[in-house]
Amino acid sequence: MTNDAKLQDSGPWWKHGHVWLVVAGPATVVVAGFTTAWIALKSPDPVVEADYYRRGIEINRTLAARDKANLPALQGRNHAATPAHP
């Protein structure tokens, strides 16, 4: 018997399940990429307001004022933890 006689016709490639496992991964990634692009184009992010910088400065001022209000308590705590020696 020759090697050709041992080989059997296995049929077309699309009838094998392993081929579809190999093709399904990249195909899923391509579909997910197109879906993500469609979602991004359909609903874009809102535009940043023109006075975002001024609002940020105001937030920083209120946070700094709150920290200044706690300053005496922090100094007392730190002094109690590490008292000064004469």
pTM: 0.45
Domain spans of the chain? Answer: 15-45, 47-81
pLDDT digit of tens for each residue in the chain (86 aa)? 556 656 677 788 888 889 989 999 999 999 999 999 999 999 988 877 888 888 888 888 888 777 666 666 666 676 666 666 55
How far apart CA 18 and CA 63 sit, in angstroms, is: 61
Helix (H) or strand (E) holding 70: none
Q: How far apart are CA 33 and CA 36, in angstroms?
A: 5
Q: What is the token pair recorded at 58?
A: 């105001």
Query: CA 22, 24, 25, 31 torsion: positive or negative?
Result: positive
